[in-house]
Amino acid sequence: MIRRGLQPGACPDSFVRSRRRAFMGPAVMTRQALHLIAAAARRKLLGHRQYDGTAREICEQVVHACFEPRARFFRASPGSYAEFWARDFGRCVPALLELGFEREVGDTYCYALSQYASAGHFALVITRAGHLFDFPAYASDGLAFFLHGLGKLGDGALVRRHRGFLEREVERFVDLVIDPGTGLVRRRTLFSEAQDYAIRDSSCYSNCLVYVLRQALDRLGLSNPLERYDYPTLVVQRFWDRDHFLDDQGGSSHPAGDAQVLPFWSGLFGRDTAARTRLGTVLRWMDAAGLNHPLPCRYGVSKSTGPRMHALHRINPWQRDTVWTCLGLHLLEVLRDFGHPRLPVELERYRTMVERVGCFPEILDGRTAELYDGPLVMSEDSMLWAASLWNLLAPRGVGTAGPGHHASEAQES
C-alpha cells in the first residue's frame, strides 16, 4: 500500500525555512573525509553491521535505516554517507515508489529542493550541516539522476513551485557539461561521476546520463535545451566498437563496466530485436573480460591500464577492479526490462551474497566477493541501493526501476 503524506507540492515549514549557507571549504571537506575514515574504522574494529532474515528482509531493514525521520529524507546510507546524495537517491526513486515509499520520496524532494533553493544552486551532496558540494568536480550525472527520480514521482505542483530554479540549473548544466558543437559531454574536462576517482575524456557513462536528463526534462514539462540532439545515434557513433562500448571519447581500450550497462539502462535503444542482439553481444564481451565475476558488475579488471585515477586512489584504491553493487543492480534491471533469461541466475547470485554477508554492501572485493576492506576505508554495509534489489525480489512481476522501462511494455509481456 502506498503511504500517503503531504498534498502534492506541499512541504513542511521546516523545509521551506532552511537558510543554511552552502559552502564546501577545506574545513567542511576535512570533516567529510574524517567521517568517512571514522565510519570505516568502526567497521574494521567491530565488524560490519549485519541484519537477520532473507535477502528481501535484509534489504527492507536497510532501506528503513537509510531514512532520516527527523529531517525526513533518504540518506545514501546511515553510516559512511549519512547525507543526501542526489545520484544515489535518484537512481533508487523508481524502486522506492514501487515499494510504497511515495510519502518519503516526496519529503526527500521537498528537503533537497528547499536546500538547493536556499543555496541558489544544485550540487551532488547536501551535508547534515546544510553545506553543498560536488567531489572532486561538478557532477555530470547528479542532475540527471535527481530529475529522473522527480519525473517518476509525478508531483506536478512541486515541479511548478521550483520550475524557475530547475530550469536555471539545467542551463548551468548545459553551460558546464555540454559541447554545443556535438551535444556530447565536453572533452578533456574533469567531472564527478559514480566512479568519481576516474579521470575520463567525455565518458560513455556520462553521455548516457545526458540522455536520461533529456528524457526527464520532457517528462517534467521543463524547457529542454537537449532535445535537438540524437543521443542514440551519437552514442553508437562515438562509443560502439564491434562488440562493446568504449569507456570514453579518448579511445581507451580498457574494459569499462559502466560503459556497457548504461546505454541499455538509460533506454537509449528501446527493446527491439536489434537492441536485444546488441545486449547479448555486450554480455558475452563482459563475461570474457571478467567484468561480471565474481558478481556483476566491476568497473574494470586488475590487468587494466586505465582509466587514469585521481591521486587519492593511491591511498584508497577501491575503484579499479572491485564490484560496485549499484552498477550490478543496474545490469539486473536491464535484464529484467529486456526479459532476459539470465535474470534469475544473476538475481540468485545477489540474493545469496546478501544473505551470506547479512547486509547490503557498497563494494565487494573483486577476488573474494567479501566487503571491500582497504587501507583507509571499508565498504559501507547499508546502502540505499538495497531498494533496487528488494524491488527485484518482490513477487509482483515486472517493476519500473530503469528509466527506459514503460508500463505498457510490461503489460504486453
Residue pointed to by grid coordinates 579511445: 251
What is the tens place of the pLDDT at every residue in 212-268?
Answer: 999 999 999 999 999 999 999 999 999 999 999 999 999 888 899 999 999 999 999
Residue identified by cell 565498504 is 379
pLDDT band at 304 (very low <50, low <70, confident <90, very high): low
- 105 vs 387: CA distance, rounded Å: 12
Q: Is 149 helix (H, G, I), strand (E, B) or coil?
A: helix
Least confident among 79-93, 350-364, 387-401: 387-401
pLDDT digits (tens, 9 = 90+) for 84-141: 999 999 999 999 999 999 999 999 999 999 999 999 999 999 999 999 999 889 999 9
- Looking at the predicted structure, is the pLDDT value of residue 22 above 50? no
- To which residue does cell 505542483 refer? 157
The predicted-structure confidence for 29-65, as pLDDT tens digits, reads as follows: 677 778 778 888 888 899 899 999 999 999 999 999 9
pLDDT at 10: 62
What pLDDT, on the 0 to 100 scale, is given for residue 252? Answer: 83
Whole-structure pTM value: 0.90
What's the pLDDT at 39? 86
Confidence (pLDDT) at 25: 58
Q: Does domain 50-395 have CATH number 1.50.10.10?
A: yes
**Strand 323-324 to 198-199 pairing:** unpaired
Q: Classify residue 290 as left (phi > 0), alpha (psi -120 to 50) or beta.
A: left
- Across the range 64-89, mean pLDDT stands at 97
Region 137-165: what's the mean pLDDT? 97
Whose cell is 564481451? That residue is 285
Under the banding of pLDDT at 50, 70 and 90, the label for residue 335 is: very high
Per-residue model confidence (pLDDT) at position 403: 60
Between CA 176 and CA 111 the distance in angstroms is 25
* Sequence spans of domains, the chain: 50-395
Residue 190, CA atoms < 13 Å, CB-side half-sphere: 12
- Say how far apart CA 5 and CA 239 lie, in whole Å: 44
C-alpha distances out from residue 242 to 204, 208, 236, 254, 278, Å? 15, 18, 10, 15, 10
Q: Bridge partners of 324?
A: 363
- pLDDT band at residue 2 using 50, 70 and 90 as cut-offs: very low
Across the chain, mean pLDDT equals 88
Share of the chain above pLDDT 90, in %: 74
Mean pLDDT over residues 281-299, rounded? 96
| pLDDT at position 174 | 98
pLDDT at res. 156:
97
Q: At 301, list the grid cell.
A: 579488471
CA distances, 174 to each of 57, 104, 161, 187 (Å): 41, 30, 22, 14
- At 132, which helix (H) or strand (E)? strand 132-133
